[in-house]
């Protein structure tokens, strides 16, 4: 997740307002909604004292003239979970009836006495209405909070399969534009379905099922993400019951079926999850380059940005494909979010209307946040991590990926990026903070995202560009389809550099 936008001080807000009135705003200005849920934007340049905040001298990563034709080989996990979802959605009445089957193979290496289902929609009272749940082999069902525990009558042997079939109705929670974090629910012009179905979390021998409860701070902002997913395969059938000819569907994978028929199928392999964003107000633009289609979904007032963002997407796919490995899917969708939030999903990213509405070139939020969210297609979707306990493994890398994007495409603005994105916020805290960081969202953001980027730069300065980019590529390839850890990250460094980085880790990481 790219961070929610954060309030400036009252004095700074007044200065920005005056700057807007004078027509000299650098980053674009908007009226401020509720104080605690205002989008973060880069600080206006004239208002930052930067005499002691000089940006590191960072060379531009060399562009590959001819991308390697050598195929990248990954360790493909065997017998991943299979999710089959049949969804009947009434978009205008804002509810869906779903029949879901999960086929789960016990790859833990030991017998399992139970299988855990996490049911994220239960966080919203009255949203998840379960009609039936069947388990094979048979089990006793215990429900508590977001958990449904399936106590197996006979242990599930290593390598054996279990099948879970669930029928339920989702009544979409409602949100408005002033709300901060609604990747699941419906507004007046958008329905979003992310983390909308029961799933089986990863299991770690000696530890058990890996799951975390959502954390919100004192002003009700979500602190990071709490869901950890294994790579899985999805077959999804979506049927729209009301005026499908008016409705556009953004999804994690390309649609199979006749356009505007309201009867669509999707297939996606080795993915962390499957998402939709559905609206009767979308305007669609797309471009295909290098075998990848970049598609944007925008509202009527930001149609131009819907076209402009395609270039940002194409450039990001190209750059990160060179630095790590080629984007492995045929489609990436960039969707305007009808809320004050930005979020990565597999094969899709959602970026706040507040970012879309005020795009005006590389000195505005979209130029930073689109590449950030797209890089999550590598660090989150392909290379997983425990986003609650070690969020820096995707968020610090994706924040630093913004710098790599600026180094390649806007090299004259590298210093501007450091001032506005990082140093202007005076970040502090430990990079390996988690979602239970004292103080809530703001200290979490400053530590994980912003100090995380500074840590990455210090690491790069210490081991040198050649080792730095070699280790990043190695880390990405080695940990694709896995749930990586801090040990995996630092082990990858050790394969490419013998430099002493203890002073850096002592400074940036709590031990």
> What digits encode the pLDDT tens for the residues 143-198?
999 999 999 999 999 999 999 999 999 999 998 887 666 899 999 999 999 999 99
| HSE toward the beta carbon, residue 213, CA cutoff 13 A | 8
**Tens digits of per-residue pLDDT, 370-409?**
999 999 999 999 999 999 999 999 999 999 999 999 999 9
| HSE toward the beta carbon, residue 435, CA cutoff 13 A | 21
Q: Give the pLDDT band (50/70/90) at residue 56.
A: very low
Helices 486-494, 465-479: axis angle to 10 degrees equals 130
**Does residue 130 have a pLDDT over 60?**
yes
**Tens digits of per-residue pLDDT, 28-53?**
232 222 322 333 333 322 222 222 22
Tokens, residue 131: 């009609």
Instruction: Give 455: exposed, middle or buried? Use CB within 10 Å, 0-12, 13-18, 19+.
Output: buried
Evaluate whether 317 touches 327 at the Cβ level (below 8 Å).
yes
Instruction: Pick the closest to residue 351 from 6, 4, 15 (CA basis).
Output: 4
Helices 392-409, 365-375: axis angle to 10 degrees equals 130
**Does residue 10 have a pLDDT over 50?**
no
Strand partners, 140: 151
The strands making up 161-171's β-sheet, listed across from edge to edge, are 128-136, 161-171, 95-105, 82-90, 232-240, 263-271
Instruction: Give 99: exposed, middle or buried? Use CB within 10 Å, 0-12, 13-18, 19+.
Output: middle
The answer for residues whose C-beta is within 8 angstroms of residue 134's C-beta and 6 or more apart is 164, 165, 166
As a whole number, the mean pLDDT across the chain is: 87
Tokens, residue 202: 């990863």
**Does residue 61 have a pLDDT over 70?**
no
What is the sign of the dihedral through the CA atoms of 59, 64, 68 and 73? Answer: positive
Cα 264 off chain centre by: 24
Evaluate whether 353 touches 302 at the Cβ level (below 8 Å).
yes
Higher pLDDT, 40 or 299: 299
Q: Give the pLDDT band (50/70/90) at residue 71.
A: low
Average pLDDT rounded to a whole number, residues 203-209: 95
Average pLDDT rounded to a whole number, residues 67-78: 72
pTM of the model: 0.87
**Tens digits of per-residue pLDDT, 435-488?**
999 999 899 999 999 999 999 999 999 999 999 999 999 999 999 999 999 999
The answer for residues whose C-beta is within 8 angstroms of residue 34's C-beta and 6 or more apart is 178
DSSP state of 249: E
């Amino acid at each position: 997740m790219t961070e929610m936008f954060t309030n400036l001080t009252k004095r700074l807000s007044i200065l920005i307002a005056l700057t807007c009135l004078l027509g000299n705003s650098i980053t674009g200005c908007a009226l401020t909604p509720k104080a605690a849920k205002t989008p973060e934007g880069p600080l206006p340049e004239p208002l930052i004292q930067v005499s002691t905040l000089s940006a590191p001298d960072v060379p531009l990563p060399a562009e590959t003239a001819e991308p390697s034709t050598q195929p990248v080989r990954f360790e493909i996990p065997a017998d991943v979970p299979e999710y089959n979802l049949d969804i009947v959605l009434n978009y205008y009445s804002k509810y869906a009836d779903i029949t879901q089957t999960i086929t789960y193979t016990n790859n833990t290496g030991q017998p399992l006495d139970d299988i855990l289902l996490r049911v994220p929609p239960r966080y919203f009272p009255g949203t998840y209405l379960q009609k039936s749940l069947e388990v094979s082999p048979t089990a006793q069902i215990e429900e508590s909070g977001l958990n449904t525990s399936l106590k197996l009558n006979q242990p599930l042997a290593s390598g054996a399969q279990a099948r879970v079939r669930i029928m339920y109705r989702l009544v979409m929670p409602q949100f408005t534009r002033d709300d901060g974090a609604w990747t699941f629910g419906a507004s007046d012009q958008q329905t979003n379905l992310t983390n909308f179905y029961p799933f089986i979390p990863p299991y770690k021998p000696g530890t058990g099922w890996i799951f975390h409860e959502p954390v919100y701070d004192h002003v009700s902002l979500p602190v990071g993400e709490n869901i950890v997913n294994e790579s899985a395969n999805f077959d999804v059938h979506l049927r729209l019951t009301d005026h499908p000819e008016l409705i556009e569907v953004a999804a994690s994978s390309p649609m199979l079926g006749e356009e505007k028929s309201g009867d669509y199928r999707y297939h996606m392999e080795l993915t962390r999850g499957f998402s939709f964003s559905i609206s009767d107000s979308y305007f669609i633009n797309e471009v295909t380059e290098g075998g990848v289609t970049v598609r944007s979904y925008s509202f009527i007032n930001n149609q131009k940005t819907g076209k402009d963002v395609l270039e940002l997407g194409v450039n990001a796919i190209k750059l990160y494909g060179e630095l790590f490995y080629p984007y492995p899917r045929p489609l990436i969708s960039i969707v305007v979010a009808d809320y004050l939030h930005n979020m990565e999903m597999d094969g899709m990213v959602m970026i706040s209307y507040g970012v879309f509405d005020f795009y005006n070139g590389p000195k505005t939020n979209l130029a930073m946040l689109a590449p950030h969210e797209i890089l999550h297609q590598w660090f989150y979707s392909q290379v997983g991590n425990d986003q609650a306990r070690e969020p820096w493994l995707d968020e610090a890398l994706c924040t630093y990926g913004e710098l790599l994007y600026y180094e390649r495409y806007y090299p004259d603005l590298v210093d501007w990026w450091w001032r506005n994105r990082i140093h202007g916020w005076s970040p502090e805290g430990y990079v390996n903070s988690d979602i239970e960081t004292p103080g809530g969202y703001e200290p979490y953001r400053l530590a994980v995202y912003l100090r995380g980027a500074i840590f990455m730069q210090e690491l790069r300065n210490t081991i040198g560009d050649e080792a730095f980019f070699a280790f990043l590529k190695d880390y990405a390839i080695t940990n694709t389809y896995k749930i990586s850890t801090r040990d995996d990250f630092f082990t990858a460094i050790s394969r490419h550099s013998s430099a002493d980085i203890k002073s850096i880790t002592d400074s940036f990481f709590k031990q």
